[in-house]
Amino acid sequence: MTVAEDNALSDEELMARIARSDAQAFEILLQRHQRRILNLIYRSIGDRMQAEDMAQEVFLRVWRAAEDYEPKAKFTTWVYRIAVNLCLDTLKSAHQKQSFVHPHLNSDHPDESDELFSRHGSAPSPEELLLAAEESRRILAALLNLPTNQRLAVVLKKFDGLSYDEISRIMGCSRSAVESLLVRAKRNLCEKLLLNGLP
């Protein structure tokens, strides 16, 4: 098959090939989803280097589970659930909770310049990049101070644009529980951002 034909395969078809140890299929799947998974983890734990390690672990688990994978839900729902469970396991440790007091907030977050380009239609100025980075740090700091389930629900809804039903499947709770988490998270975020001088 050509590269274009490989890229046209669905996630489920790629997983079937990965189950047969197809490294090229795995590389396509990795390129297709790695950035979103990395951003999800980074926004959940606040440490860029650890997020990169954890994203690698997520896709290592995908490779190992390929033979047993059954497409009962969308692949993205399945891989997000792996990432969320890994985040929850990590967040349970006392050391990780303490690190949230001073998270390693990087100014080179991969989404910042992309968002500015789409907003302005041209290359942002250094001042705009600096202001965006500072605003992003404040938002992430407020996000990291939310209770874990509220934080994950916000990341999945507001940053990844998932539906309530998708989030409920990923987090293993009801749709109404997701709605309740998001209402409480919005209220808490507003309070934290107002305290930090953000409208």
CATH of the domain at 90: 1.10.1740.10
Q: Is residue 155 part of a domain?
A: no
Residues 6+ apart with CB under 8 A from 46: 99, 100, 103, 104, 105, 140, 141, 144
Q: Is residue 118 part of a domain?
A: no
Residue by residue, DSSP assigns 5-42 as: HHHTS-HHHHHHHHTTT-HHHHHHHHHHHHHHHHHHHH
Q: Is residue 51 part of a domain?
A: yes
In tens, the pLDDT along 26-46 reads 999 999 999 999 999 999 998
Domain that holds residue 75: 1-100
Is the model's pLDDT at 168 over the cut of 60? yes
In tens, the pLDDT along 13-24 reads 999 999 999 999
Total domains, the chain:
1
Q: Is residue 94 part of a domain?
A: yes
Mean pLDDT of 77-88: 95
Q: Is residue 61 part of a domain?
A: yes
Q: Is residue 77 part of a domain?
A: yes
Q: Tokens 């404040």 sit at which residue?
A: 138
Q: Is residue 177 part of a domain?
A: no
Please say whether the beta carbons of 169 and 77 come within 8 A.
yes
Q: Choose between 1 and 12: higher pLDDT.
A: 12
Q: Is residue 47 part of a domain?
A: yes
Mean pLDDT of the chain: 81
